[in-house]
Structures are given as C-alpha cells and as structure tokens.
Structure 1
Amino acid sequence: MTRVLVSGGTGQVGSFIVEELISRGHQVTVGGRTRPADGLFSKPVSFAPLPLDPNLDQVAAFGGIDHFIHAAFDHLPGKYRGGEGSDPDGFRVRNLDGSVRLFETAQKAGVKRCVFLSSRAVYGSQPDGAVLNEEIAPQPDTLYGSVKLAAEQALAAMARPDFVTSSLRITGVYGAARPELPHKWQTLFADYLAGRPVEPRRGTEVHGSDAARAMRLMLELQPDQVNGLAFNVSDLLLDRHDLLKLVQTVTGCVHPLPAPETGRARGVMDTARLRGLGWTPGGTELLKKTIRSLSPG
C-alpha cells in the first residue's frame, strides 16, 4: 500500500482524485487549510495542514509519504483565469512560490513521485483551429496560465530517477465527485430550465473520474514513461447547444436552445501522449450518463 499526499483534496478535481486513489487501495492524506469533515469521502483519509505559503517549513506533512499530488490552487471563489482579483503579487507568491516550496520539500523528504495539476490555460491564445499538443510552445495570456506553466517548468527541472515528476494539463472538468458538491454546469442548467438567455459557447471538457484516472496513472506507470513530462487531459469539444439538448431530452424542457457558437474555433487538445499509455476517457456515453444524474426531474 502506498501513501499519497493530495493537496487540495477537497476541491472539485481533488475530490475525484482522492476517491480514485482510495478505491484502488492507496492510503490517502488530504493536505490543505482545513480538515475534511468526517465521512466526507467513501473511506477514511488522514489530514495534514498544508497551506500555500513559501515561508513555512512543512516537511512534517511529508513524513512517510510515497507520492505527492499537488492539486491545490489559491484563487477567488469560482474564478481561475482572473482568480487573482486585485492581488496579482500575492496570487503569484502563493501559487508559484508556494508550490515550488512544496515540490522542494517533497523531494528533500524522500517522496518518490510528484504530480502537478496544471491546466489547458498554459497554451493561451493559439491560431484558430490549432490542435494543442505538448510539443507546441505554450503562450499563456493570463496570470493563471503563466503561474501554472512556471510551476510545471520548475517541477520538470527537478526530475531525477529518485524523484519522478509529471504535470497534467487538464481542461474543464465536469461531473460531481459527491452528490452534495455543486457541479460546473449548475448555474447554466438552472438558467436554461428557467428560460433565461444562455450565451453560445464551446469548450473542451473531461469528466472528473477520467482526470483522476490519468492522475493515478502518473503514480503507477514506469518512471521513464512519465518523468519530467506534461500530459494533456481532455475528452470532448462540447458546444452548449449540444450540451443543453441533452438536458432538454432528459427533462422535457421546451425552452429554446442557444445557437451553436460560430466564433473563433477553440483548439482541440491532442491527448495522444496520454492515450498511448493506456488512458481512455468515457466520451459521449459518459457525458450522457452524467447529464442524466445531474439534471433535475
């Protein structure tokens, strides 16, 4: 049994990661600012205080830990891009300097593997219709994307045979790890079902359980398959028109659907690198199943 420390383990993506790991027999410690409520997860987890503060010595949190998954990120509620609010300097210190300090602490503590939860945002603006793969030069156009990329690069530079590192560039994560958690489309669904106008939009999506399986693979694959690398994690390019059409089918709602987006083509994330290691996402069937579970009525 391996012991895995997951920072941000109670967040939207972190919750999926924790559930995936404990379902596979890993012993999980959730790191963060506050202890998870009893019974929050399907099996017991430990807790270690782990704020994003580069000035703290947090080596005690890594005692006996085999692997570290860094999924914590400090931002304004509900915002990633623009999540710095009026404090860009503090945002960078916490999320870049604080992350790098945790990577360094993990390495010094003898942690064997470290995985960073990065983002599609590292690619920033790319030409219309571009296919985004891990070989193209990132061009982050937000502070969020710049911080994620800098943390990725810092971790990759630390890769060693005895400290295996990787980063997952995850796109929009949908689904709810637990029934009481709000999901990313909650407001969108409510607006549509209430007959309020919905702006056209198209975006790349992946189910949280698929993202969590990708994270687990980073801990289980041979070191030379992942060490120092970044991996795209994405599944569907989804238009709100098509998404809400599924909601319409499930609920019988008669409100008109938004028009398909006709603006700038959003780049598709190429996941060949990750798929080549055995990762297969749930596709449209998992999307339909999730819509049935999330839609009221």
Structure 2
Amino acid sequence: MSTPRTVVSGGTGYVGRFIVESLLAAGHDVTVIGRRPPADGFFSKPVHFASLSLEPEAITSAPFEGVDFFVHGAFDHEPGKYRGGEGNNPQGFRRRNLDGSAALFAAAKTVGVRRTVFLSSRAVYGSHSPGVWFSETVEARPDTLYGEVKLGAEQALSALRGPGFQGVSLRVTGVYGPGGPGRPHKWTGLVADYLAGREIAPRAGTEVHGRDVAAAVRLVLELPTPDDVILNVSDLLVDRRDILAIVKRELGSSHPLPEAADKGAVNAMRTDRLAALGWRPGGRKLLEESILELLESCNVSVRRPSG
C-alpha cells in the first residue's frame, strides 16, 4: 500500500500540531500549509511546507497535486480570540474564513483529493436552553460571527460531496493539552493564578484533549466511506474547580478552590456517532495525566499515579 499523502492547513496551530503528529505516527507524508513554516524541531519528524493565504483569490490547487487527504484547520483571527476574533474587520474575517475555506475545498476537489476533513466548532449550535444536549441533529443556530462562518464552511464542503470526493466536518469543543515546544498548556494561566492566590471565577465547559481530536481525524480519514458528514468531538464536562482540585491535591496547596459552577446549565455534547465508529477519548484519566504533565512542565514536583 502506498504512503498516504496528506495536507494539513493550520498544522502549526494549537490543535493542528496534535493532528500532524498523529498523522506522522501513522506513516502519512504530511505537508503543512500556513502563513509561516514550523520552527526546526517543532514536529517529531520532518514535514513539507507550503505557504498559504486564506484570501480566496490567492488560493490555487498547487498544494493539493498528488494528495490523498486534506485536513483544514487554518483559521484567521485576532490572536487569542475565536469568538470575537473578527475584531474591527468582520468582512475580512468572513471573506478569509468562509470564502477562503470554500475555495480551498474546491481546489482540493479539482485535483483529485479523495477526502477532506474540516475542523468546525460547537459554536455552530449557538444558544439553546440550559442543559440541552447537543447531538448532531440539534438545530444549528449560531449567535456569533465565528459560529456563522464555521457553519457556512460546513455547508460549502457538503455541497461539494460526490463521486470521488468526500467531506466530513468535525464539530470540536474546547481543546486542552500541551501547546507544543515553547508554547504553554491551555491551563497554564489558570494554574498560575490559583497558585498565586488570585480569585478565580467559577466556570464549566466541555473539553477534549488534542490527542483525541487527532484520533477522530485519523479515524474519519481511514473509514472506507463515512456515512455521517457531521460528527461531534467532545469528551468531558469540566469545571475549573475540577482542574484545580487536582492541583491542590498534588501540591497540598492551602489556597481555596473556586466555587463550583452550575454544570447542569451547560450544553454538553453527545458523541454517539463517533463512538459507534470506534472512537474512545481519554476521559478523566487523560485529564489527570495532562494536569500532572502541566505541573511538571512548570518544574513543580508531583505525585505520579501508580499502574
């Protein structure tokens, strides 16, 4: 069997790095496309690089020549922001992230890419009554420009599906895990605030480790023919108090934990479709492991669980 050739847009991003590493481990020949090449040693193995602009008129089919798969994770936004990432330029935000994504999908299809996976977001669901579970059949009614753009890109990809070209959108929740060489963990700031004794507001939300997102991408790429074109990717409903309780336990901190958030008001996500394909996220065990790794990366001595 020939080596699969895969293009990943946004591969040097927080989530993209997990995906690239997973594909490399599976033996893919990976090309990362983005605004700037990865730093030396950023990935565990060599990757190819091609420059990418999300401006629609700048997109060509060149990066997709001879490629089997395309994973689209690139997103143009103000640093540190997704919702609200449009800043003062909503037209440019929509043009690059919606029209640019649609142009990438079309370019990939034109030269024979067999399957494209788009990293969408739970933001497409928008606001619903507290406690309503989000399954893929729940009405998508985004209430942010970010959610609108993600939903529009899903629809653009779906419209291109046909013989020889398959598209799947993964609606991903909040992602946690190490940020990669020289980059912080998602919760580095939260833990630092707690250890400094700063007040922390209660908050709960759905989370999934980046490693599990990458596993979902690989699974969808390897399916003979995906039946579902929309799949939720989520694992745990996590309270900040849950995270910091592990820190408190491991370090014996005297600082009080934040008040518990109302988990019952959160819209958790159902992942039955993905589970039926064999996807198994890391759950509480992986959450604990990740927080211990975070503490160790801060040069804090922790107790490692046995077994």
TM-score (norm 1): 0.97
Residue 234 of structure 2 corresponds to: 234
Question: Could you tell me how far 1:250 is from its partner in structure 2?
Answer: 2.0
Distance 1:293 1:209 in 2: 14
Which consecutive residues of structure 2, in runs of 5 or more, have no partner in the other structure?
Answer: 301-307
Counterpart contact for 1:118–1:170, Cα < 8 Å: yes
Residue 280 of structure 1 corresponds to: 280
- What CA RMSD, in Å, does the superposition of the two structures yield over aligned residues? 1.2
Q: Do structure 1's residue 292 and structure 2's residue 292 form an aligned pair? A: yes
Which consecutive residues of structure 1, in runs of 5 or more, have no partner in the other structure?
Answer: none
Question: Could you tell me how far 1:21 is from its partner in structure 2?
Answer: 0.2
Residue 188 of structure 1 corresponds to: 190
Residue 266 of structure 1 corresponds to: 266
Counterpart contact for 1:210–1:281, Cα < 8 Å: yes
1:201-228 C-alpha deviation (Å, 9 max, x unpaired): 00000000000000111110121434xx
Distance 2:272 2:264 in 1: 24
Residue 81 of structure 1 corresponds to: 83
Counterpart contact for 1:50–1:58, Cα < 8 Å: no
Question: Could you tell me how far 1:264 is from its partner in structure 2?
Answer: 7.0
1:164-220 C-alpha deviation (Å, 9 max, x unpaired): 110000001000152422121111111111111101000000000000000111110
Distance 2:235 2:203 in 1: 17
Question: Could you tell me how far 1:136 is from its partner in structure 2?
Answer: 1.1
Distance 1:179 1:37 in 2: 9
Q: Do structure 1's residue 40 and structure 2's residue 42 form an aligned pair? A: yes
Code of the aligned partner of 1:91 = F
Q: Do structure 1's residue 58 and structure 2's residue 60 form an aligned pair? A: yes
1:7-34 C-alpha deviation (Å, 9 max, x unpaired): 0000000000000000010110000011
TM-score (norm 2): 0.94
Residue 154 of structure 1 corresponds to: 156
Aligned residue-pair number: 295
Distance 1:192 1:18 in 2: 32
Distance 1:18 1:242 in 2: 30
Counterpart contact for 2:32–2:50, Cα < 8 Å: yes
Residue 122 of structure 1 corresponds to: 124
Code of the aligned partner of 1:78 = G
Residue 252 of structure 2 corresponds to: 252
Residue 207 of structure 2 corresponds to: 205
- Aligned identity (percent) is 57
Residue 304 of structure 2 corresponds to: none
51-60 or 111-120: bigger deviation: 51-60
**Aligned pairs for 1:11-30 within 5 A:** 11-30=13-32
Question: Could you tell me how far 1:274 is from its partner in structure 2?
Answer: 0.4
Counterpart contact for 1:161–1:223, Cα < 8 Å: no
1:97-118 C-alpha deviation (Å, 9 max, x unpaired): 0000000000001101011000
Code of the aligned partner of 1:115 = V
Q: Do structure 1's residue 111 and structure 2's residue 117 form an aligned pair? A: no
Code of the aligned partner of 2:253 = C
Counterpart contact for 1:246–1:288, Cα < 8 Å: yes
Runs of 4+ aligned residues of structure 1 deviating over 3 Å after TM superposition are none
